[in-house]
Amino acid sequence: MAASLSLLAAASLPACKTSPNEGEKGATGATGDSVAAQPAPIDTIKIKAMAMRRDSLKADSIARKTGQLPGAILPGHRIVAFYGNIRSKGMGILGREPKEQMFRKFAGVLKEWQAADPSIPVQAALHNVTITAQGTPGKDGKWRLMNSKATIDEVLSWAREHKCILFLDVQPGHSTLPVELPKLEAYLKQPDVHLGIDPEFSLATMPGVRPNQRIGTLDAKDVNFTINFLARIVSENHLPPKVLTVHRFTRKMITNYKNIKLDPRVQVVMHMDGHGEPTLKKDSYHDYIQTEPVQYTGFKLFYEYDPKPKPHHMMTPVEVLTQLTPKPLYIQYQ
């Protein structure tokens, strides 16, 4: 990639030429002599765009021949993730229980999923909310806070210790994805780190609204920005495809879904994120995931909220696989 990008840059440079420069002295001291003109500035944005286009065409060509790019996780695996934040007991199972106790529970869950569908290997994952919507605006008024480097490094070490991939999740608050995602680029350059974005807590188009007051929204253009952001990282760092999870449990959380543009370098999971009794969850999956397809599908299970009110229960792996169409390839426990 680096060598070919250099060649592209060289090919894009303007040709060097000279032209009369009236009123100034040339090398001979006489007015009107030709002098070297300053070269036009290099349009680095255009060069990067051309390189991205070339890499996208190459990726499309490979994907047409093989069905996917080398190293792609989906659809050859089912990802099963524990979600939360390792510094918070209230955000999900990841962080709610002591580390070793949690991983013992996770091992049992992974075995249940593998037994429920032996035809496809299970890929374990941790899904850590890394940029988190806040109840206070903060100094810049954006209502979000990023985990410290120490926290991100620690959850990454947990993931690697237990052979998990890691998702870094973004709740942008009143900020935007173009502002927030570059903060995670150093981590996303690593092959085992993937990304999640949460429209529920995307409130940039809702001035004055606090997180949890209303359900936020993202548009196809926001998803496309994220896809292009990840695709560039994949190409520049010679990585296998990234997985992008997009949370959704209402129609307005993702607008203009038909305009989402897929790229083989990024595997997009539309993830049914709602809680409640099984019938409600299945209806939501049908209405917002199955009937508005993008690429791959996901489904969330809640340890605390799905079983309420009684006598409802959290769906089992067998129930999920037999009652949802298409069968989700990304499963998340909160």
302-330 per-position pLDDT tens digit: 999 999 888 889 999 999 999 999 999 99
Q: What confidence tens digit (pLDDT) does each residue in 108-125 have?
A: 999 999 999 999 999 999
Q: Hey, what are 299's tokens? A: 């489904």
**Angstrom distance (rounded) from CA 33 to CA 26:** 5
- What is this structure's pTM? 0.82
Counting Cβ atoms within 10 Å, is residue 40 exposed (0-12), middle (13-18) or buried (19+)? exposed
Residue 312 in any domain: the answer is yes
Counting Cβ atoms within 10 Å, is residue 155 exposed (0-12), middle (13-18) or buried (19+)? buried
| The pLDDT of residue 10 is above 90 | no
Residue 281 in any domain: the answer is yes
Domain count, the chain: 1
Residue 64 in any domain: the answer is no
Residue 184 in any domain: the answer is yes
Residue 143 in any domain: the answer is yes
Tell me which DSSP letter residue 120 carries: S
Strand 330-333 to strand 266-272: parallel, antiparallel, or no bridges (unpaired)?
unpaired
CATH code assigned at 266: 3.20.20
Cβ atoms of 148 and 132 within 8 Å: the answer is no
Residue 256 in any domain: the answer is yes
**Angstrom distance (rounded) from CA 265 to CA 70:** 10
Residue 124 in any domain: the answer is yes
Structural domain of 320? 78-333
| The pLDDT of residue 225 is above 90 | yes
Q: What is the 3-state secondary structure (H, E, C) of 145-157?
A: EECCHHHHHHHHH
Residue 240 in any domain: the answer is yes
Position 125, amino acid: A
**Angstrom distance (rounded) from CA 7 to CA 127:** 39
pLDDT of residue 309: 82
pLDDT of residue 28: 30
Counting Cβ atoms within 10 Å, is residue 199 exposed (0-12), middle (13-18) or buried (19+)? buried
Q: Hey, what are 250's tokens? A: 């209402």
pLDDT of residue 17: 32
Q: What confidence tens digit (pLDDT) does each residue in 53-78 have?
A: 666 666 666 666 666 899 999 999 99
- Backbone φ and ψ for 18, nearest 5 degrees, come out as -115, 155
Q: Hey, what are 193's tokens? A: 């780190």
Q: Hey, what are 90's tokens? A: 């209230």
